[in-house]
Amino acid sequence: MEQDRRVALVTGGARGIGRAVAARLAADGWRVVVADREGAEDVPGRLVEADVADEAAVGRLVEGIAQAEGRLDALVCNAGFMIRKPIRELSLGEWNAVLGTNLTSAFLLARAAETMLRPARGAIVTIASTRAHQSEANTESYSASKGGLMALTHALAISLGPEVRVNCVSPGWIDTKGEALRPEDHAQHPAGRVGRPEDVAALVAWLVGPESGFVTGAEFLSDGGMTRKMIYAE
């Protein structure tokens, strides 16, 4: 029966990692709702155009799932973006925009989805970044948002358990645009290659599935080992 099929909401699922997550979950038999502030062709799921940093839009999005799908079993908070600017040039508006999409949206979505996720004994996965742990220059708003998202993950795991498990995936370098990658780009990763959106999608699929039932409040790095590599200048 259609109503028995699990339902997943993937934010930022029109492109990149979110699209791969949506495609993987759809292939695994989930009904998928993709929320994105941009439209896109051939989205692997029901596309809802919504800005997930907007409280009212998140309310409409989750209410729409209650009406259309009738249940919610997994929430994947993937929407995110980066502004690279020297801090002296970064406006408060830009700071708030990055925090709004990358961090506040997960609060808004978890709050709105709790009443459907608890009876479903569902799962939340947040997509943070290895930049929650390490930085390049001029990435303050992004790093802060991802560090906050990682901490929000364990806070939610404690508050929403035991019914809802909440985990975080922190990707490293994932090639979402099919860039021309050099041999040294791959070689600098202990795993021998740059990451693919499907690498992240496979981890998310496990985290929202039944085989990760003893895992909550955790962070998983999908970075080809880059954050474990010690570097000294030659």
Ligand X SMILES: NC(=O)c1ccc[n+]([C@@H]2O[C@H](COP(=O)([O-])OP(=O)(O)OC[C@H]3O[C@@H](n4cnc5c(N)ncnc54)[C@H](O)[C@@H]3O)[C@@H](O)[C@H]2O)c1
Residue that is written with structure tokens 């791959």 in the block: 186
User: Per-residue string for binding with ligand X, 140-179, x by CB under 6 A?
Assistant: -------------------------------x-xx-x---
Counting residues that bind ligand X (by CB under 6 A) gives 25
Task: Find out whether 5 and 40 touch, Cβ atoms under 8 Å.
Answer: no
- In Å, what is the CA distance from 155 to each residue of 159, 184, 229? 6, 39, 29
Closer to ligand X by CB, 52 or 144: give it.
52
- Rounded to whole angstroms, the Cα distance separating 210 from 207 reads 8
User: Per-residue string for binding with ligand X, 101-140, x by CB under 6 A?
Assistant: x-------------------------x-x-----------
Q: Which residues contact 1 (CB under 8 A, 6 or more apart)?
A: none
**Range 84-103, binding ligand X (CB under 6 A):** 101
- Rounded to whole angstroms, the Cα distance separating 96 from 53 reads 10
Q: What is the closest distance, in whole angstroms, from the C-beta atom of residue 118 to ligand X in the complex?
A: 24
Residues 9, 47, 53, 124: which binds ligand X (CB under 6 A)? Answer: 53
- Only segment of 13-21, 106-114, 184-192, 204-212 that touches ligand X (CB under 6 A): 13-21
Residues 78, 143, 167, 216: which binds ligand X (CB under 6 A)? Answer: 78
- Rounded to whole angstroms, the Cα distance separating 44 from 18 reads 10
- Rounded to whole angstroms, the Cα distance separating 77 from 167 reads 10
Q: How far, in whole angstroms, is CA 223 from its chain's centroid?
A: 15
**What secondary structure letter does DSSP report for 92?**
H
142 catalytic? Reply is yes
The active-site residue out of 58, 99, 142, 157 is 142
Closer to ligand X by CB, 133 or 154: give it.
133
- Rounded to whole angstroms, the Cα distance separating 114 from 108 reads 10
Closer to ligand X by CB, 17 or 110: give it.
17
Q: Which residues bind ligand X (CB under 6 A)?
A: 11-12, 14-18, 35-38, 51-53, 78-81, 101, 127, 129, 171, 173-174, 176
Catalytic residue annotation: 142
